Amino acid sequence: MDIYKFAIRPLLFNVVKADSEWLHQQTIRSFSWLSQTPTSWVNQRLQKSLCLYDSRLEQNLFGLNFPNPVGLAAGFDKDGVAANIWSNLGFGFAELGTVTFHPQPGNPPPRLFRLPLDKAALNRMGFNNRGAAAMAARLTQEKQKLTPSIPIGINLGKSKVTPLEAAAQDYLDSFRLLKDLGDYFVVNVSSPNTPGLRSLQDASMLSAILNLLQQENTAQKPVFVKIAPDLDWVAIADIISLAKTYQLAGIIATNTTISRDGLKTQVIDQTGKSPQDEAGGISGEPLRDRSTEVIRFIWQQTQGQIPIIGVGGIFSAEDAWEKITAGASLIQVYTGWIYEGPLMVRQILAGLLVLLEQNGLNSINEAVGLEFKNSNYEL
């Protein structure tokens, strides 16, 4: 029996009604402690219970080896305090951050809300983090003790105090501090919780950021851009063009949405207001279909030549398979993991192996973009 889903989650969500951000802080503290003792009995038990190794799930992409396609999305380990633990929880890669050059407290709480009726979360955290220098110091110290066994990405955001016209330099300053410590990097221009940030998805603004980063990127670390689900097709096509121009490793699709369409939640308990009256981005199940549509569009426009990391509304192997067959080489989870619990990654991986067998495939790589290979699908 899944103790988390049937006992722990109902207790925390419905009986204790613990604050979402407080719960997250306690969880990340526990993982940080475990990260400091990677050879402990607890970690060995976690590996045995939560990890699933199978060569059919492995991929080599942009020079990195991914033991499986399920990664932890940015936002969970904002400061990189648990970088060494994520492989023990079954993940094939993990993305730290979002980190900004200047330390910042983020938006005032409450700023993270569960929407259980929608299997969703609403957040307006505002890139709360201790800054790029603190992350660099921590990761340098950690690397002296243990090198993570999975690829570690670093998600870069713009500091709130930095004017939009100086955004490119702000991203560059963070990248300079961290460029030797991440296996890949993500330019986050799509969070709805930093004023004006999404305007950086405009081709001219984004071009300035990517130009500076790639000039600095002498080690040719893979660089991604993370986009919003709320962009129209023309804007996404512009970003695809920039990805080709600046030789990006790929695109992450997608961040949270500002759409409130179809939500079942009428009132958020902590504030007494409706989700429509609360600022922030929605993640989880309401995002699933739109993020998959964006993945399909990118795959179709690029003929599968630009790798995609798919994120948004993944709770099951079927959700993961849908995104992979739509064109995502890798996927990331966050909200689904909160709802489904720590066994979710292993369950997804086991389910993917079943789906590979059902479709007569020998590796997960063969499933990427499968729906295009099997039909004349058009968006």
How far apart (Å, rounded) are the C-alpha atoms in residues 350 and 246?
37
Residue 98 marked ligand-binding: yes
Q: Edge-to-edge strands of the sheet including 112-115?
A: 112-115, 120-123, 281-284
Q: Position 315: which residue type?
A: F
The label of the residue with tokens 């790929």 reads 250
Q: How confident is the model at residue 16 (pLDDT cuts 50, 70, 90)?
A: very low
How far apart (Å, rounded) are the C-alpha atoms in residues 201 and 231?
9
* Distance from the first to the final alpha carbon of the chain: 41
How far apart (Å, rounded) are the C-alpha atoms in residues 96 and 157?
11
Query: Which residues are catalytic, by number?
Result: 191
* pLDDT confidence of residue 5: 62
Residue 78 marked ligand-binding: yes
The label of the residue with tokens 């409130």 reads 260
Q: Position 274: which residue type?
A: S
For the chain, count helices (H), then strands (E): 13, 13
174-232 pLDDT, tens per residue?
999 999 999 999 999 999 999 999 999 999 999 999 999 999 999 999 999 999 999 99
- Beta-bridge mates of residue 72: 94, 333
Residue 37 marked ligand-binding: no
Structure tokens at 36: 């400091």
Residue 127 marked ligand-binding: yes
Residue 124 marked ligand-binding: yes
Which contiguous run of DSSP H or E holds residue 319?
helix 317-326
Residue 91 marked ligand-binding: no
| Phi and psi angles of residue 286, each rounded to the nearest 5 degrees, phi first | -60, -20
pTM of the model: 0.94
62-66, 103-107, 288-292, 375-379: lowest mean pLDDT where?
375-379
Domains in the chain, CATH or no CATH each: 3-376 (3.20.20.70)
